[in-house]
Amino acid sequence: MELPAPLLIFRKTSIHIYLFLLLSLVVFLITYSSYVLPSSSSVTSLANLIWPNPKFAKKSKEKLPFAIGETKEGCNVFNGKWIWDEKRPLYEESECPFIQPQLTCQEHGRPDKDYQHWRWQPHDCSLPSFNATLMLETLRGKRMLFVGDSVNRGQYVSMVCLVHRIIPENAKSMNTVGSFDVFNIKDYNATIEFYWAPFLLESNSDNPGKHRIEERVVRKDSINTHGKYWKGADIIVFNTYIWWRTGFKFNILQGSFDDKVKDIVEVSTEEAYRMAMKSLLRWIKKNMDPKKTRVFFSSMSPSHERSIDWGGEPNKNCYNETKMIEDPNYWGSDCRKSIMQVISQEFGKSKMPISFLNITQLSSYRKEAHTTIYKKQWSKLTQEQLANPYSYADCLHWCLPGLQDTWNELLFTKLFYP
């Protein structure tokens, strides 16, 4: 940048003044850069690990399938705050018969309802209201598919609850077949589906009913084992994270699960996750038409299993929490930034227009929104557990109605107003 004429004169007459000004400029730039490029612990830098992706930003200028408008330029809908809203929840727990008993917190005795009344408000714009009629008309003759783990199943159930009230009783049904949960909407010739694949790749945890296995193993390059069932979907929402949290090493099968002697290698969790992301992106490129279909990928869903993360007492968790975390820079130890980096690096290489649902930070504040002990238990609780609710509180899954309805409002926004 060319210096103004007065400064050039000063430089000629006094080298010391010039050096002083130059030093001042350097100090200013350092200070300024620390402002626009926050530290790794800040909200903005964490979001920027993935979003925006310059390649996707360029493609998003083209009209994407199902889009009817645009989000206000410069508005990041994932950057905002929670505000109290008396008009919420968007539906009542008792009104939606499709919520699984693992998520019906009121039915199982939760005494408070405050967690149902919070609405996400972006800083620079507002989210459009969820329009069930528009969603159903868009899905007419089409197939919407959620793929992933039980957290993604919760978002799937939330979506069903958001649309089912305007569908006549005799024109809707829910069926479970193998790894599929399928919500049929007869009059629209449409389905909203969930497919159980916690790693997306083939694994030893693929049985939707019996998957509690300590030594988890994922088979390399096996995306088609599940992917063959995803073909033909018009809208797909992927997620995978919580099942990878087994430590810093992960077991990868290089052969087949049918081999008598299995060739299993141990790699870093980041390397294993990167392998899954590369496989997913190859599958998307091969099987999804960007002119006709939409692909979404949700970031990691936070858990709140360590109360010391938010200044609580040791050996406690989300149980009995009724207020959210107010620190805007909060980032829990359960959400590994190294995994976020892997997603950023691999998705950044893709030329496919994949919409990223960055739900991690906004969900991290919501330590009070988990199911905790207010759910159907998988097995009978022991006397020791009953004496210590913290020992069996579920801090992974979320009550419905609740937080995951907001995820679907964000999905709705990105689908129709990218």
Cite the active site residues. Answer: 150, 394, 397
* Residue closest to 304 by CA, chosen among 277, 278, 331, 326: 331
Fill in the amino acid letter for 223. Answer: I
Cβ-count burial 47-84 (b if 16+ within 10 Å, e if not): bebbbebeebeebbeeebbbeeeebeeebbbbbbebee
Beta strands in 158-268 (DSSP E): 172-177, 180-185, 190-196, 217-219, 235-238, 249-253, 264-268
Which phi and psi (to 5°) does residue 335 adopt?
-100, 105
Instruction: Specify the 3-state DSSP secondary structure of 391.
Output: helix
Two tokens at 111? 């005494």
Angstrom CA distances, 323 to 83, 306, 367, stand at 13, 16, 7
Q: Please choose, from the candidates 282, 285, 286, 274, the residue with its C-alpha nearest in 3D space to the C-alpha of residue 345.
A: 274
The DSSP output letter for 68 is: -
